[in-house]
Amino acid sequence: MIPLSVSAFDSPLQVKNQFPLTLNILSPRFESPQVQDCMTVNLAYSSIHMVRQSRDYSVGLDLESTELRLGLRRIIYDTIEITAELPIVGFNAGFMDGFINKYHDTFGFDDYGRRNRPVNSFLFNLKENGKVLIEGKDGRFGLGDIRLGIKKALLTSDPLISIVFEVELPTGSSPKTGIGNGSLDAGGGLMISKSLSNSLQTYAIAGVVFPGNYRGYETIKLRNYLYAGAALEYEISKQISLIGQLTAQGSAYPKTHIQQIDRPAVVLAIGARYRLNKDYAELSFVEDPSTSGASDFFFNLSYKKAMPSAPTQVNAVD
């Protein structure tokens, strides 16, 4: 038999960049090279503030967002995993501005101009030469772009190595308001995990995304971009792990001369996972250390339920 798991370790934190302008263009999702049979539920709640302009472009983001993702993963032929993920996305004025202002005051952090905006007010638009390209609506919820993928395990010992190919279908209910992008996106990557000791595991990922054009009020010609990430998982006990990870992705947008959009986005996540047999729940806090192309911060809650192997799975022979 081919060993598909070499330890009790499972995966990096199940987070992806929640920045509203890139959320629906196959935003990279850090995951393990290990193939699995499971169902997943993921809830992310984020706060975003970015009000900037250049000669040709202006961006106004002052909102809070919610993304609920329902996922299914199935193994076929031992080393291949097929996946489907359905997202529900929503934007609102939110309630956290007062807390965030006090947090910045307490620790002396820059507030990125938050105090120039009314507390808990809503703003979401991207404009080019005064023309609206995308304009979100307060309280709008809808179906996002459905994500499909296939993962192939290349090496099933230690290290684990897999490749993945994904597409994102243009199923979003309202690209003009930031829910979906109206085009087919595709991408692929290489994933590696390696045990450093009985209690320490590393993960790495690198890949490329080929987004379609963003079909908002006007068509935005998006660019291909690269992404990469690394994570470290420390097992405190058989039930509890602590995980830290860092991911970066290039900008898909044309040059706006707004550095917060043009520069690569960096996302730092710190969280904990609790295991119960083959299932787990995890909670993480995610921060934007580069102040560009990512939510200021967000909370991420995930649950994974292991499933029986698919009937089509065939046992491999050494």
> What is the rounded CA–CA span in Å between residue 244 and residue 202?
10
Lookup: tokens for 100: 């965030």
Q: Is residue 242 part of a domain?
A: yes
153 falls within a domain: yes
CA separation, residue 227 to residues 9, 65, 111 (Å): 24, 23, 28
Say how many domains are in the chain: 1
Cα gap 64→69, rounded to integer Å: 17
**Cα-only R_g, the chain:** 20
The reply to whether the predicted model has a pTM over 0.85 is yes
Task: Report yes or no on 120 lying in a domain.
Answer: yes
- Percent of the chain that is helix, strand, coil (3-state, to 5): 5, 50, 40
CA gap 98, 66 in Å, rounded: 19
pLDDT tens digits for the chain (318 residues)? 344 443 457 889 999 999 999 999 999 988 889 999 999 999 999 999 899 999 999 999 999 999 999 999 999 998 999 999 999 999 999 887 667 667 656 665 555 666 677 777 899 999 999 999 999 999 999 999 999 999 999 998 899 999 999 999 999 999 999 999 999 999 999 999 999 999 999 999 999 999 999 999 999 999 999 999 999 999 999 899 999 999 999 999 999 999 999 999 999 999 999 998 889 999 999 988 888 889 888 999 999 999 887 555 444 443
In a domain, 209, yes or no: yes
Residues 184/167, Cβ–Cβ less than 8 Å = yes
**Residue 66 C-alpha from the chain's centroid:** 12
Kindly list the distances between the CA atom of residue 54 and the CA atoms of 129, 247, 255, 286, in Å, as whole numbers in the listed order. Answer: 10, 27, 10, 28
Cα–Cα distance for residue pair 317/183, rounded to 1 Å = 42
Confidence (pLDDT) at 106? 67
Residue 141 belongs to some domain of the structure: yes
Model pLDDT, residue 301: 97
User: CATH number of the domain that 155 lies in?
Assistant: 2.40.160.40
Residue 137 belongs to a domain: yes
So what's the pLDDT on residue 110? 57
Q: What pLDDT digit, counting tens, does each position of 234-265 carry?
A: 999 989 999 999 999 999 999 999 999 999 99
| pLDDT at 317 (0 to 100) | 40
Q: Give the residue from 70, 65, 76, 54 showing the smallest Cα distance to 21.
A: 65
Q: Which residues have a Cβ under 8 Å from the Cβ of 229 and sit 6 or more positions away?
A: 12, 28, 30, 203, 204, 205, 206, 245, 246, 247, 248
Domain containing 209: what range?
Answer: 38-306
Give the integer Cα–Cα distance in Å for 229 and 245: 7
Q: How far is residue 37 CA from its own chain's centroid?
A: 21
Q: What's the pLDDT score for residue 101? A: 64
Q: What's the pLDDT at 3?
A: 41
What's the pLDDT at 113? 65
In-domain check, residue 315: no
Residue 11: inside a domain: no
Q: Tokens 């984020």 label which residue?
A: 46
